[in-house]
Structure 1
């Protein structure tokens, strides 16, 4: 398995865990609201239900965003070797390794720190379309692209 495939799988697993966690939290709130509705009445009860409903809406919005991220990630073919920086590229620079996909936390695989970022991010835009051995600048810092997968 290539490093690019390992990176792809790691981020895919992270998103699946996030989706699972959000769905469980939404379900727990729904059950709490149903249990609360059975045995309570009055202003405190109404306030508690309203707070649970707001939390459910917030979690539902987060879930929708994570599912959208997962859809973007799943549109990437992790076996394709790119020659230009674009969606799905694993870009080795003289400073970092970047996975052009979606904005996600930095991970470490095979003793490599990998930063996942969106092609629409300022750094992604600076790299977009570049090829191996090209340089680009971002925030007064020069980067050299060593290799692209």
Structure 2
């Protein structure tokens, strides 16, 4: 399995785990709200239900964000190679490993730190379409592409 395939698999797992966790939290909140509705009445009850509803809305937004990240990852073929930077490319620039996908947390695989960034990010947008040896400038930093997989 190549480093790119391992990176892809790790991010797929990470996003799937987050989706499962948010779904579990939303489900638990719904159950709590139903149980609370059966046992309470009055102002305290209304306040508690409102707070649960707000929390559920926040969790639904986070779940939607994770589902968007999963949709982006699902578009990537981890076995494809390209001579230009595209969605799904694992790029080494200035010794930094960058995975062009969605904005996701840094992971370490086989002792290599990988940063996931979206093609819409300042650096990602400058890298897209460039080949090995290409240069991307962001603010005061210059990134030279050393490898693309």
TM range (shorter): over 0.9
User: Which runs of no fewer than 5 residues in structure 2 stay unpaired?
Assistant: none
Give the equivalent residue in structure 2 for 1:108: 108
Aligned pairs, how many?
149
Whether the 8 Å contact between 2:89 and 2:148 is mirrored in structure 1 is yes
User: Secondary structure of 2:145's partner?
Assistant: strand
What corresponds to 1:88 in structure 2? 88
Is the Cα–Cα contact under 8 Å of residues 102 and 119 in structure 1 kept in the other structure? yes
The C-alpha deviation readout for 1:68-89, integer Å capped at 9, x for no partner, is 1101101100000111111010
**How much has 1:15 moved relative to structure 2?**
0.3
Q: TM-score, normalised by structure 1?
A: 0.97
* Partner-residue secondary structure (3-state), 2:113: strand
- Map 1:66-85 to 2 at 5 A: 66-85=66-85
Distance (whole Å) between structure 2 residues aligned to residue 32 and residue 103 of structure 1 = 33
Kept in 1, the 8 Å contact 2:123–2:136? The answer is no
TM-score by length of 2: 0.97
Query: For residues 79-113 of structure 1, what are the alpha-carbon distances to aligned partners after superposition, in whole Å with 9 as ceiling and x for unaligned?
Result: 00111111010001123110000000111111111
Check the 8 A contact 1:95/1:143 in 2, yes or no: no
Q: Partners of 1:139 and 1:109 in 2: how far apart?
A: 29
| Aligned-partner Cα distance in 1 for 2:148–2:48 | 53
Contact 2:94/2:143 (CA < 8 Å) preserved in 1? yes
